């Protein structure tokens, strides 16, 4: 999308149209490109990422969290943990951020047509799947059953709480939400337990089903064997690797896992691909 | 490719028998320590592939102990390998370390900062004649031309407080104190000249952080200069960040630096960093009577308060 | 007929190029060392020493501004860097190990996304290579498939002649043009004999064999052995002609500043540290492994080339004596 005959490091400018605090330190931004032409031409696929900048602080890498079916804006979601994310969080509606992208590969949504989908996410890793979830919900009749297993440490750590409620209310989505033991308040109506355990209990059928998993490395580590046990083949499990990146363009050299450049060859991989990589992610 | 002019009239500072006797003493002790099980590893030096070079070696068997050497190429301060920064070495168990006098000061400093315990360490001290300077032609013997600057002013040829001294200190000539002379030259400069001197040197800094990584006292798990929240020092190799980094480094090591000059030796851009260390040491001596020594001190000059501390700077 | 140029005329060529407005970069005395730096006159050229840093910075500077920004009444203004301002450059007296590097780096700076900062400089630079007649014991270009007389990578190639001056060989069209344009400075080589090329010592390496070992040995005690010593600095990477990792940072204030790209190194502890605190290469053994794997396996897998020209700079600079040639020798013998 960026004009690559030019400076590949130069971002588009976008205005913060809306912002929402998901948790005490996680914020979502809705961004609208300032240039009309970019606004019209910018397209992306679910799973792709971008480099977002707060001028004066630098750039950070996040997935595009909104669905490609919703045009005119993109959304991102991040936790304020460093210089850039602190700066992004300090911005207000109407302020300008830089956006470079979209970069990387994407989920092969078309290949999922006619299949059941199971989304498994932990903590702040819901955004990379949320783009796919809405993409699929917006094309609801092309898919079979949709199950979402989402967990966080505590109730307060769940992101997109209003959307969780929306999904819960829909009859065409099965949402299983959970918090880690001890993370539940008095009014919690979801499960209590770690994501892999809750997934095993929920036991979605593996036949004609694709699983999409995203979460901290430890969650992925324990989720893959559960999916395997449930009968999911490695080719039917997708994940997205969120390695540290700077350029997003296959140049700066830090996101590699073995000879795989996550920014260009990924970030979306099947479990089969992940297992073939050196275990260094 | 480096074409150091061969100085054929170079006079060796010590005869070659000195190096082999120190080497033999280290090997014998290391072998004994490892075969008796007294230690699980001996941190010393072994010969490198290139002639005249030696590199840090961690011997864990009597066979490996036989490979240890002492030569003018044994430039490293091995105290680095006992710090938090090198956790993997500590994991090997109780260790022995080969230490030159200058390295002993670093060990003492680390003990003073509660990073090491003397009783958990076997120290094989080296009666040291000196080692090569960073730009020395290593095909030549150790001589007045090839010796490291720090060694020209060494006051700790004979180690003290060690478990065993390898070799004996040979008769050594008095060498001109090049570094002290250069420091005096710098001191005599106007601030503007001095600024120009350092600006030129810092302009070459590539921020490889070798100065930090080889320093036994740069063992912080999170260096202030790597922090970005807030960011204290710009990370780009540009004048502002480079200058800030070297000032922060100098200040943070004031009263802790043992003067081993590893930072300067490691610098691929030949920045004379030990001049900064020396200057700080001089200030500390004048202000607090502090000097890096071989005996551990419980508190460094900047980590304690005394009634009679100079307070004239408070205006 | 082969051409030659006297040392005096080589310096005169530099003077002429400078006068015409070209940027001429070559080995120049810089304090205690020699560096590839812009030459103001031919007399500044140093022909006897390998510069401490490689020539890669002529294409991929240590630090460069990739954009500037300013906040005003109408919001943020981002100002592009105009690559047209990069001057036509002649890189002169470049050793074969340095001249070979751009040809290796072209692949990564151009796959899918063209890094115009690199590409534009590459396009505008002519390389005048210089054969080596001396090598030290850190040099190992011959072990990785190059040689002190390797012309590949140069546009014009100079070989010192026994009676002084250089034999001149046009390697590329760019070189032919230089030769034609400044023909008055070049003479006929006649019967003057070139000096024999340097002979770097050491064992030859079978890179395919090394690659095969790396393919099979992601887990090996070797990585920890090296990591026990490795201090985790970036001296090796920063002096290397082929290392190309970089960082991107904003510097300035919220109101005004610059975004800069500067060299980085995979040996640094925080290089791959995630925002969450998770670090895929959280120990020095993993980081050293990545360094070696990237040079002799990953880059080969990806682009069919290895990231090493045998210049020996990392060997000379490593403060803890890690000698990549010795490491490769060891792997080669496994």
Residue-level pLDDT at B9 = 58
pLDDT more than 90, % of chain B = 77
**Residues B239 and B115 both lie in one domain:** no
CA distance A256 to chain C (A): 9
**Residues C211 and C176 both lie in one domain:** no
Are B48 and C31 inside 8 Å of each other by CB? no
- The domain containing residue C172 runs over which residues? 3-188
Question: Which residues in chain B touch residue A82, judged by CB atoms under 8 angstroms apart?
Answer: 228-229
Of the pLDDT bands very low, low, confident and very high (cuts 50, 70, 90), residue B1 is: very low
Would A31 be classed as within a structural domain? yes
For residue B54, give the nearest of B64, B67, B41, B66 by alpha carbon.
B67
Instruction: Give the CATH number, domain containing residue A50.
Output: 2.40.30.10
Residue-level pLDDT at B301 = 79
CA distance B30 to chain A (A): 37
Are C272 and A243 inside 8 Å of each other by CB? yes
Cα–Cα distances in angstroms (integers) from residue C240 to residues A221, B54, B264, C65, C302, in the given order: 37, 22, 20, 22, 20
Would B302 be classed as within a structural domain? no
Q: Distance from first CA to last CA of chain B, Å, rounded?
A: 56
**Residues C29 and C175 both lie in one domain:** yes
How far is C75 from C255, CA to CA, in rounded Å?
10
Residue-level pLDDT at B2 = 44
Would C196 be classed as within a structural domain? no
Q: Which of A58, A60, A80, A83 to mutate to test the interface with B (most CBs of B within 10 A)?
A: A83
pLDDT tens profile B148-173: 999 999 999 999 999 999 999 999 99
In this complex, which of B208, B236, B270 lies closest to C63 when CB atoms are compared?
Answer: B236
**Residues C182 and C228 both lie in one domain:** no
**Residues A99 and A206 both lie in one domain:** no
Would B173 be classed as within a structural domain? no
Flag whether residue C80 sits within 8 Å of chain A, measured between CB atoms: yes
In this complex, which of C253, C275, C280 lies closest to A81 when CB atoms are compared?
Answer: C275
pLDDT tens profile C191-247: 889 999 999 988 899 999 999 999 999 999 999 999 999 999 999 999 999 999 999
CA distance B222 to chain C (A): 10
pLDDT more than 90, % of chain C = 92
Number of B/C CB contacts below 8 angstroms equals 131
A197 membership: H or E segment, kind and range: helix A195-202
Of the pLDDT bands very low, low, confident and very high (cuts 50, 70, 90), residue A5 is: low
**Residues B122 and B41 both lie in one domain:** yes
Question: Which residues in chain C touch residue B236, judged by CB atoms under 8 angstroms apart?
Answer: 63, 249, 251, 260, 262
pLDDT tens profile C31-71: 999 999 999 999 999 999 999 999 999 999 999 999 999 99
Question: Which residues in chain B touch residue C320, judged by CB atoms under 8 angstroms apart?
Answer: 55-56, 76, 214
Question: Which residues in chain A touch residue C273, judged by CB atoms under 8 angstroms apart?
Answer: 244
pLDDT more than 90, % of chain A = 94
Chains that touch C (3 or more CB pairs under 8 A): A, B
Mean model confidence pLDDT for chain C? 95
Of the pLDDT bands very low, low, confident and very high (cuts 50, 70, 90), residue C250 is: very high
Are C233 and B204 inside 8 Å of each other by CB? no
Residue-level pLDDT at B306 = 81
> At which of B166, B192, B215 does a domain end?
B166
Would B303 be classed as within a structural domain? no
Flag whether residue C252 sits within 8 Å of chain A, measured between CB atoms: yes
Q: Which of A1, A256, A263 to mutate to test the interface with C (most CBs of C within 10 A)?
A: A256
Are B50 and C30 inside 8 Å of each other by CB? no
How far is B6 from B304, CA to CA, in rounded Å?
51
More confident residue, A263 or A280: A263
pTM above 0.90, yes or no: yes
Low-confidence winner among B202-211, B277-286, C60-69 (lowest mean pLDDT): B277-286
- The domain containing residue A217 runs over which residues? 109-240
Residue-level pLDDT at C143 = 96
Question: Which residues in chain B touch residue A83, judged by CB atoms under 8 angstroms apart?
Answer: 228-231
Given strand C63-72, what is the order of strands in its sheet?
A: C75-80, C63-72, C256-263, C246-252
**Looking up tokens 């909104």, which residue turns up?**
A66
pLDDT tens profile C98-117: 999 999 999 999 998 999 99
How far is B170 from A119, CA to CA, in rounded Å?
75
Are A82 and B229 inside 8 Å of each other by CB? yes
Question: Which residues in chain C touch residue A32, judged by CB atoms under 8 angstroms apart?
Answer: none
Would C283 be classed as within a structural domain? yes
**Residues B141 and B184 both lie in one domain:** no
> At which of C153, C188, C223 does a domain end?
C188
**Residues C130 and C80 both lie in one domain:** yes
State the total domains in chain C. Answer: 2
**Residues C112 and C244 both lie in one domain:** no
Low-confidence winner among A16-25, B276-285, C25-34 (lowest mean pLDDT): B276-285
**Residues A205 and A183 both lie in one domain:** yes
Would C122 be classed as within a structural domain? yes
In the predicted structure, residue B4 carries a pLDDT above the cut 80 = no
**DSSP designation for C45:** B
Would B121 be classed as within a structural domain? yes
pLDDT tens profile A213-254: 999 888 999 999 999 999 999 999 999 998 999 999 999 999
Are A258 and C302 inside 8 Å of each other by CB? no
Would A250 be classed as within a structural domain? no
Would A44 be classed as within a structural domain? yes
Are A7 and C81 inside 8 Å of each other by CB? yes
Total Cβ atoms within 10 A of residue C30 = 19
Are B2 and C49 inside 8 Å of each other by CB? yes
Would A34 be classed as within a structural domain? yes
Would A4 be classed as within a structural domain? no
Residue-level pLDDT at C50 = 95
Flag whether residue B85 sits within 8 Å of chain C, measured between CB atoms: yes
C252 membership: H or E segment, kind and range: strand C246-252
**Looking up tokens 């040099």, which residue turns up?**
C139
Are B207 and C239 inside 8 Å of each other by CB? no
**Residues C146 and C19 both lie in one domain:** yes
In the predicted structure, residue B91 carries a pLDDT above the cut 80 = no
Question: Which residues in chain A touch residue B230, judged by CB atoms under 8 angstroms apart?
Answer: 83
Are A56 and C255 inside 8 Å of each other by CB? yes
Contact (CB, 8 A) for A97 and A16: yes
Question: Which residues in chain A touch residue C281, judged by CB atoms under 8 angstroms apart?
Answer: 280
Would B73 be classed as within a structural domain? yes
What string of DSSP letters covers chain B? ---PPP-TTPPBSS-HHHHHHHHHHHHHHHHHHHHHTS-SEEEEEEE-SSTT-EEEEEE-SHHHHTTB---TT----GGGGGSGGGHHHHTT-SEEEEE-HHHHHHHHHHHHTTS--GGGEEEEEE-----B-TT--TTSPSBTTTB-HHHHT-S-SS--S-SEEES-PPP------HHHHHHHHHHHS-HHHHHHHHHHHHHT-----HHHHT-TT---SS-GGG-BTTB-S--SSSHHHHHHHHHHHHHHHTTT-----HHHHH-TT---HHHHHHHHHHHHHHHH-----SS--SS-TTS---TTS--TT--
State the total domains in chain B. Answer: 2
Contact (CB, 8 A) for A7 and C81: yes
**Residues C41 and C169 both lie in one domain:** yes
Question: Which residues in chain A touch residue C275, judged by CB atoms under 8 angstroms apart?
Answer: 60, 79, 81-82, 85, 244
pLDDT tens profile A188-201: 999 999 999 999 99
Flag whether residue B20 sits within 8 Å of chain C, measured between CB atoms: no
**Residues A184 and A99 both lie in one domain:** no
**Residues B91 and B227 both lie in one domain:** no
> Which chain C residues in 153-182 lie under 8 Å from chain A, judged by CB atoms?
none
pLDDT tens profile A122-140: 999 999 999 999 999 999 9
Would B111 be classed as within a structural domain? yes
Both tokens of C10, joined, read 């080589």
- The domain containing residue B216 runs over which residues? 178-288
ipTM of the shown complex: 0.94
> At which of A103, A119, A151 does a domain end?
A103
**Residues A113 and A215 both lie in one domain:** yes
**Residues B125 and B208 both lie in one domain:** no
**Residues C239 and C306 both lie in one domain:** yes
Largest CA distance in chain B: 63
**Residues C69 and C119 both lie in one domain:** yes
Would C200 be classed as within a structural domain? no
Residue-level pLDDT at B297 = 78
Mean model confidence pLDDT for chain A? 94
Both tokens of B69, joined, read 């050497």
Are B213 and C232 inside 8 Å of each other by CB? yes
In this complex, which of C238, C251, C322 lies closest to B208 when CB atoms are compared?
Answer: C238
State the total domains in chain A. Answer: 2
Are A251 and C244 inside 8 Å of each other by CB? yes
> At which of A73, A103, A133 does a domain end?
A103
CA distance B284 to chain C (A): 28
């Amino acid at each position: 999308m960026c004009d690559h005959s030019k400076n590949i490091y130069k971002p588009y400018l976008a205005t913060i149209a809306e912002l929402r605090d998901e948790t005490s330190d996680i914020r979502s931004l809705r961004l609208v490109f300032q240039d009309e032409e970019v606004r019209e031409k910018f397209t992306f696929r679910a799973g792709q990422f971008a480099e977002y900048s707060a001028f004066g602080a630098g750039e950070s890498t996040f997935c595009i969290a909104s669905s490609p079916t919703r045009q005119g804006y993109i959304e991102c979601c991040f936790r304020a943990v460093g210089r850039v994310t602190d700066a992004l969080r300090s911005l207000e509606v109407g302020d300008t951020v830089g956006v470079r992208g979209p970069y990387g590969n994407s989920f092969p949504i078309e290949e999922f047509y006619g299949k059941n989908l199971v989304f498994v996410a932990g903590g702040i890793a819901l955004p990379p799947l949320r783009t796919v979830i809405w993409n699929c919900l917006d094309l609801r009749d092309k898919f079979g059953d949709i199950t979402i297993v989402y967990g966080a440490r505590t109730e307060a750590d769940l992101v997109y709480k209003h959307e969780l409620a929306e999904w819960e209310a829909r009859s065409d989505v099965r949402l299983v939400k959970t918090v880690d033991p001890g993370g539940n308040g008095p009014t919690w109506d979801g499960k209590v337990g770690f994501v892999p355990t809750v997934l095993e209990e929920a036991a979605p059928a593996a036949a004609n089903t694709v699983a999409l998993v995203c979460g901290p490395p430890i969650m992925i580590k324990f989720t893959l064997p559960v999916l395997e046990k449930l009968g999911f083949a490695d080719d039917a499990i997708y994940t997205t690797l969120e390695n540290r990146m700077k350029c997003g363009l296959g140049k700066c050299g830090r996101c590699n896992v073995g000879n795989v450049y996550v920014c260009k060859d990924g970030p979306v991989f099947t479990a089969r691909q992940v297992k073939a990589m050196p275990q260094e992610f | 490719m480096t074409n150091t002019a061969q100085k054929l009239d170079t006079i060796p500072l010590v005869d070659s028998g000195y190096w082999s006797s120190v080497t033999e003493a280290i090997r014998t002790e290391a072998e004994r320590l490892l075969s008796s099980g007294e230690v699980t590893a001996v941190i010393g030096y072994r010969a490198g592939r290139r002639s005249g070079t030696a590199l840090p070696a961690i011997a864990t068997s009597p066979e490996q102990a036989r490979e240890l050497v002492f030569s003018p190429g044994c430039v490293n301060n091995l105290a680095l390998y006992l710090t938090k920064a090198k956790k993997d070495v500590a994991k090997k168990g109780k260790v022995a370390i080969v230490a030159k006098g200058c390295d002993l000061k670093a060990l003492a400093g680390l003990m003073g900062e509660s990073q090491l315990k003397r009783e958990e360490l076997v120290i094989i001290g080296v009666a040291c004649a000196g080692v090569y300077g960073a730009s020395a032609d290593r095909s030549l013997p150790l001589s007045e031309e090839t010796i490291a600057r720090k060694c020209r002013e060494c006051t700790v040829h004979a180690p003290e407080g060690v478990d065993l001294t390898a070799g004996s200190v040979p008769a050594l000539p008095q060498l001109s104190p090049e570094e002290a002379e250069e420091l005096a030259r710098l001191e005599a400069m106007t601030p503007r000249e001095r600024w120009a001197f350092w600006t030129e040197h810092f302009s070459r800094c590539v921020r490889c952080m070798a100065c930090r990584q080889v320093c036994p006292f740069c063992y912080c798990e999170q260096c202030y200069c790597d922090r970005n929240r807030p960011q204290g020092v710009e990370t780009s190799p540009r004048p502002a960040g480079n200058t800030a980094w070297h000032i922060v480094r100098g200040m943070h090591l004031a009263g802790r630096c043992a003067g081993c000059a590893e930072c300067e030796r490691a610098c691929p851009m030949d920045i004379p960093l030990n001049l900064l260390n020396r200057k700080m040491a001089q200030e500390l001596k004048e202000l607090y009577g502090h000097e890096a020594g071989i005996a551990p001190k419980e508190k460094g000059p900047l980590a304690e308060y005394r009634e009679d501390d100079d307070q004239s700077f408070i205006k | 007929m082969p051409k030659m140029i006297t040392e005096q005329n080589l310096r005169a060529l530099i003077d002429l190029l400078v006068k015409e407005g070209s940027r001429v970069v070559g080995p120049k005395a810089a304090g205690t060392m020699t560096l590839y730096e812009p030459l103001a006159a031919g007399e500044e050229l140093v022909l006897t020493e390998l510069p401490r840093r490689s020539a890669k910075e002529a294409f991929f500077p240590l630090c460069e501004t990739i954009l500037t920004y300013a906040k005003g009444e109408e919001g943020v203004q981002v100002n592009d860097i105009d690559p047209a301002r990069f001057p036509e450059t002649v890189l002169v007296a470049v050793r074969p190990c340095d001249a070979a590097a751009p040809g290796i780096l072209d692949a990564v700076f151009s796959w899918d996304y063209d890094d115009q900062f690199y590409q534009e400089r590459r396009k505008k630079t002519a390389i005048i290579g210089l054969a080596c007649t001396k090598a030290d014991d850190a040099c190992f270009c011959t072990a990785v498939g190059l040689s002190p007389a390797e012309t590949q990578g140069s546009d014009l190639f100079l070989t010192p002649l026994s009676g002084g001056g250089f034999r001149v060989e046009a390697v590329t069209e760019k070189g032919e043009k230089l030769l034609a344009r400044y023909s008055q400075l070049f003479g006929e080589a006649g019967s003057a004999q070139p000096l024999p090329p340097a002979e770097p010592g050491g064992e030859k390496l079978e890179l395919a064999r090394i690659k095969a070992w790396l393919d099979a040995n992601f887990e090996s005690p070797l990585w920890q052995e090296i990591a026990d010593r490795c201090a985790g600095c970036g001296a090796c990477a920063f002096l290397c002609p082929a290392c190309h990792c970089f960082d991107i940072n904003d510097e300035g204030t919220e109101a005004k500043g610059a975004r800069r790209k500067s060299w980085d190194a995979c040996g640094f502890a925080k290089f791959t540290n995630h925002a969450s605190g998770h670090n895929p290469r959280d120990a020095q053994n993993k980081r050293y492994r990545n360094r070696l794997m990237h040079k002799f396996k990953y880059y080969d897998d990806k682009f069919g080339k290895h990231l090493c020209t045998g210049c020996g700079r990392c060997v000379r600079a490593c403060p803890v004596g890690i000698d990549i040639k010795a490491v490769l020798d060891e792997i080669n013998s496994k």
